[in-house]
Every structure is written in C-alpha cells, then in structure tokens.
C-alpha cells in the first residue's frame, strides 16, 4: 500500500497513537487503513454416501480436486457465501446442514470454514472455475490429488465422523513452518 | 474509496471482466480493490460457575457489558486473536477450550466467533478499553445491560448447554431488518 484510498496522498507504515502494531496511515488526512484476515467459505456437498468434488480450472492447484469454496463477500452470511460458491463452481443446488470444519492459516491471513450441505438434486456440472465435477464414494476419493490440506482434513474428518453419524465442529490451525 | 492505494490514481466502481459484482478498480493500473467481511474473535472466559464480563470504556455501547472480543489481525489464528483481546481488555490469562458460537452479521459484513476459555488465574483487571471487569454467576449477569445481541445469545446458550456439560457449536445469522 502506497497511497491513501480516501484522499490519494502518500501513506506511512507506523504505529497509530493508542495502538500497538504498525498500520498504513495517511500522512495528509490521517486515515488509518486496517488490513484483516479474509474468510474462505465452502461446502462439503454430499448425496447419500457420496461427496461432491471439483477439479480446479484455475491456479493455484489447477487440475487438482477441491471442495467448492471461495472468498466471502461483503453483505453475505457465511452460509450464503458457501452456497454461492457451490453454485458458481459446481452449478449445484444444496442445503446447509451445519458448519463442520474451521481452519486458521495465519501465514496467509485466511480463515477457512466448510459447511456440511445436502445436495438437493443431481443437476450439477462444471462451473467456470472447474474442469470437472463428480461424486465420489470414500474409496474413490483422489487423496493424492487433493488441492489443499484443508480439503484433505475436512474429508478425513467427515468419513471418520460419518461412522457415528455425529459431526462436532473440527477446528485446527494450519501453520506454515519455514524450511530449515 | 476514491483512489488506488497502489498508484494513487482515481478508482471506478464497476464489474471487472469475468466477475459478477462491482469492485473498486483503478482506472490507471487496473488494480482491483476487493473488500471482504471482517472477523471479530473473542472469548467466553469462565472460572468454575462464573463467567467474566467487561464493561465497555469505548463507543459503541460505552458502559454496557460485553465479552472480550475484537477484530482479528493479519498473521493471527482465530484462537490467538480471541486470547489477545482477552488479555488487552481484561488483563486476563485464559486457555482456549473450543470454538463455541459463530454469528454472521451481513448488514455490517462482520463474522463473530467466541471461544470457551478457562481462566488460568484470577489476576484480571480492566484494560484500556474496559471500565470494569468482573465475574458473574448466572443469576448475576446484567442481562438488560449487555452490549450486543451476540453477547446475549452466547451467554444464553452457555448457561443452557452447561446443564448437560455439552457445548456443540451454536451458529446463527443476525439479520438487520429495516424499520417499516
């Protein structure tokens, strides 16, 4: 960030009075530009014993399998965002059951949340950001071709929890360790 | 938003190519300025049968009682943010048990999350943003002087769930209806 989005003047990176961490502050109008983590909301859509996955048509991880998810937009609830992404990426109609997994990824300032969601019909298809959309039984899941650790962890929890048909929230931090 | 924070030129509010909603876009360098909901992370700190509340020293709702909570910062996990706010507002040392409530407030593009947290000692005191910090038994909670609906709902769920000592995640949307 170089310029104030309110008045167009240059910004400095310094600790505001009464604060305890540096922010971008306008040298002219004193506006403080806070930057905060973003939420990625998604669904774990299921139909009977099958789960729906999307093969990514975009980077990062183009060609790898994922659950439908994306950045929550202003004005949305987390569940609305998760369902919107499911429609956009998989043209799928689903109904939210409950939030299921939540992950903090502090190295990229992101918080992921996935909702269990029942497919309402089987009229799904690849959206613009997907190459392919398909249903998988547990033994068919392409475990070695999943796009992100949050996807792998959500699916592992799900198949494990499904044995007891109890789905408590599963939350975890995914911490990036710099290589030695 | 009037100016690009990258190059300082004027921005327009229009739908980018391939997108489906208006964004602030720089007319000069084409940078797209996404705006997304923010997370407020907090704790429900408890000690035996008592819960810790803070009387707000700042607006909004100055003088009303709240749970310690605030905007999640870049580089933090949600639990770290909740504990930091608990230290800052109540000088309290606590240990996270598990996430407990989550609320979407789409009219202000905020997502609240509260963690149950065990107080590690009773050396708490009012931080800069609090007038007073105290422990309350259920019958002592100032229900008519709680600062926000998310606080009331979190406390109501807690005292109800405590009867069974089971604390499943409680999630809800708090929708603002415009007056007729």
Per-residue pLDDT band at B178 (split at 50, 70, 90): low
**Phi/psi at B83 (5° precision):** -70, -40
Q: Is the pLDDT of residue B177 over 80?
A: no
C-alpha angle B96-B98-B99 in degrees, rounded to nearest 5: 110
Select from B107, B106, B98, B112 the least CA-distant residue to B150: B112
Nearest C-alpha of chain B: how many angstroms from A89? 13
Looking at the domain B1-35, which fold is it?
Ubiquitin Ligase Nedd4; Chain: W; (2.20.70)
CA torsion angle B147 B66 A115 A41 (round to 10): 80
Is pLDDT at A178 greater than 90 in this prediction?
no
Give the pLDDT confidence score for residue B18 in this predicted structure.
85
| pLDDT tens-place string over residues B68-117 | 999 999 999 999 999 999 999 999 999 999 999 999 999 999 999 999 99
Query: Omega into B94 within 30° of 0, i.e. cis?
Result: no
CB B75: neighbour CB atoms within 10 A? 13
Average pLDDT of the residues in B3-23: 93
Question: Confidence band (pLDDT; 50, 70, 90) for B180?
Answer: low
Determine the Cα–Cα distance for residues B136 and B46; give it in Å rounded to an integer.
Answer: 9
pLDDT of B176 over the 90 cut: no
Fold of A38-165: Nucleoside Triphosphate Pyrophosphohydrolase (3.90.79)
pLDDT of residue A177: 72
Query: Which pLDDT belongs to residue B98?
Result: 97
Instruction: Find the mean pLDDT for residues A100-113.
Output: 98
CATH code for the domain defined by B38-173: 3.90.79.10
| Predicted confidence (pLDDT) per residue in B24-46, tens digit | 999 999 999 999 999 999 999 99
Q: Indicate if the pLDDT at residue A21 is higher than 80.
A: yes
pLDDT in tens, A137-159: 999 999 999 999 999 999 999 99
Mean of the pLDDT values across residues B48-53? 98
d(CA A124, CA A115): 18
Lowest mean pLDDT among B46-60, B120-134, B165-179: B165-179
**Residue A120: what pLDDT?**
98
Q: Do B5 and A7 touch (CB under 8 A)?
A: no
**Eight-state DSSP code of residue B21:** S
pLDDT at residue A6, rounded to an integer: 95
Report CA Rg, chain A. 19
ipTM for this model: 0.94
Q: If we measure between CA atoms, which residue out of A126, A123, A175, A120 comes closest to residue A150?
A: A175
Domain boundaries, chain A: 1-35, 38-165
User: Looking at residues A50-67, what average pLDDT do you find?
Assistant: 97
* B33 neighbors A5 (Cβ within 8 angstroms): yes
A130 is written with which tokens?
Answer: 């997907």
Read off the tokens for B158. 């807690």
Is A5 in contact with B168 (Cβ distance < 8 A)? no
Which of A41, A71, A77, A150 to substitute to test the interface with B, most B CBs within 10 Å? A77
Question: How many CB pairs lie under 8 A apart between chains A and B?
Answer: 118
* Strand order across the B32-33 sheet: B11-14, B23-26, B32-33
């Amino acid at each position: 960030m170089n310029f104030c989005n309110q008045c167009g003047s240059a910004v400095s990176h310094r600790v505001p009075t009464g604060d305890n961490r540096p922010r971008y502050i306008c040298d002219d109008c004193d506006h403080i530009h806070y930057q905060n983590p973003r939420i990625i909301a998604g669904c774990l859509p299921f139909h009977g014993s099958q789960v729906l996955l999307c093969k990514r048509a975009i980077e990062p991880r183009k060609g790898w399998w994922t659950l439908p998810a994306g950045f929550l937009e202003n004005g949305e609830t987390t569940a609305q965002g998760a369902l919107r992404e499911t429609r956009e990426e998989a043209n799928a109609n689903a109904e939210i059951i409950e939030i299921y997994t939540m992950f903090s990824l502090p190295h990229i300032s992101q918080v992921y949340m996935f909702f269990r969601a029942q497919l309402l019909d089987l009229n799904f298809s690849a959206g613009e950001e997907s190459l392919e959309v398909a249903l998988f039984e547990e033994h068919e899941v392409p475990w070695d071709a999943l796009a992100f650790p949050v996807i792998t962890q959500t699916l592992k929890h799900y198949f494990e929890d499904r044995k007891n048909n109890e789905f408590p929230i599963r939350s975890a931090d995914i911490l990036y360790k710099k290589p030695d």
